[in-house]
């Protein structure tokens, strides 16, 4: 006798893909007529050898290369270009040319808008107090004010001048928009390509969530002390990646994790720059 299957495409007790962690409430659990179970659709849940190996190999190449090169001293635009290429264009080519699948199966879709926007706002709001607390710590001020925000940007200069204490609003807008695209690429790679790629294998949902979170944390650390993020941020990146991974699975989209992630990053920048913006506006 065929066993009931717990995935979005099997017949029997089929679960809403937005609730993959055992939440069985009315509206999130679909009761279908019990018949002979059909095979899971290839490329969604269940074992898919090609997807698994492609996800693994692309992940190793991208994470390995970025781990080695992100610590190098380079212009910030070069850093963005390299990361965006490995985190967006490389996995997209793998999805389209090797797997021949729709990128929406890997989180490039709007998904559950209501749930996603609600939790993006909740996660951003939950980080406001921690942002204020860490913004006065020397290691965060050094990493953000003295390093990231003081880097020269092509054509617009630095966001923050460490000597004159002046904030360049045009450079700030350029920087935040560039960071938005950079973070979107990261969200797609970790909470999209890696998470949904591994989820389609025997590792399942939790395997995908954990296996995208570990390299995400690794890339927050660097062998170069000048490029490494503060220890609190490195440690916090692991639970943050798990939470954003769960959000991606529940909404079937990387969009809302991106909104929360970029919102927290931009808020951190504004909190650090606020005293100087009010004093001197360049």
What are the pLDDT digits (tens) for 140-174? 998 899 889 999 999 999 999 989 889 999 999 99
pLDDT at residue 48 in the model: 85
- pLDDT of 7 above 80: no
Distance, C-alpha 31 to centroid of its chain? 33
> Which two tokens mark 88?
């967006």
Question: What's the mean pLDDT when you consider all of the chain?
Answer: 85
DSSP letter (8 states) at residue 16: P
Q: Which of 250, 246, 257, 265 is nearest to 127 (CA)?
A: 265
pLDDT at residue 280 in the model: 59
pTM check: above 0.85: no
Who's near 28: CB < 8 A, 6+ residues apart? Answer: 15, 16, 18, 19
- pLDDT of 3 above 90: no
Q: Which of 81, 119, 60 is nearest to 261 (CA)?
A: 119
Q: Residue 167: what are its φ and ψ, rounded to 5°?
A: -105, 125
Which has more pLDDT, 132 or 20?
A: 132
pLDDT at residue 281 in the model: 53
């Amino acid at each position: 006798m065929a066993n009931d299957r717990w995935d979005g495409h099997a017949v029997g007790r089929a679960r809403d893909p937005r609730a993959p962690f055992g939440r069985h409430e009315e509206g999130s659990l679909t009761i279908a007529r019990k018949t002979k179970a059909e095979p899971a659709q290839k490329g969604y849940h269940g074992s898919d050898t090609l997807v698994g190996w492609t996800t693994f190999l692309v992940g190793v190449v991208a994470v390995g290369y970025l781990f080695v090169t992100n610590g190098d001293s380079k212009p910030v635009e070069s850093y963005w270009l390299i990361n965006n290429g490995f985190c967006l264009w490389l996995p997209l080519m793998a999805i389209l040319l090797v797997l021949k699948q729709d990128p929406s199966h890997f989180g490039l879709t709007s998904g559950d808008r209501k749930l996603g926007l609600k939790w993006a706002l909740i996660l951003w709001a939950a980080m406001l107090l921690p942002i204020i607390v860490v913004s006065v710590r020397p290691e965060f001020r050094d990493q953000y004010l003295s390093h990231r925000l003081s880097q020269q940007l092509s054509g617009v200069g630095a966001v923050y001048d460490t000597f004159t204490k002046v904030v360049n609003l045009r450079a700030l807008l350029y920087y935040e928009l560039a960071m938005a695209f950079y973070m979107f690429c990261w969200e797609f790679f970790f909470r999209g390509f890696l998470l949904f790629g591994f989820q389609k294998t025997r590792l399942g949902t939790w395997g995908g969530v954990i296996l995208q979170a570990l390299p995400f944390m690794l890339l927050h650390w660097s062998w170069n002390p000048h490029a490494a993020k503060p220890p609190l941020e490195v440690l916090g990146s692991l639970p943050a990646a798990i939470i954003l991974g769960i959000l991606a699975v529940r909404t079937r989209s990387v969009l809302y994790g991106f909104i929360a992630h970029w919102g927290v990053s931009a808020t951190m920048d504004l909190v650090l720059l606020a005293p100087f913006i009010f004093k001197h506006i360049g």
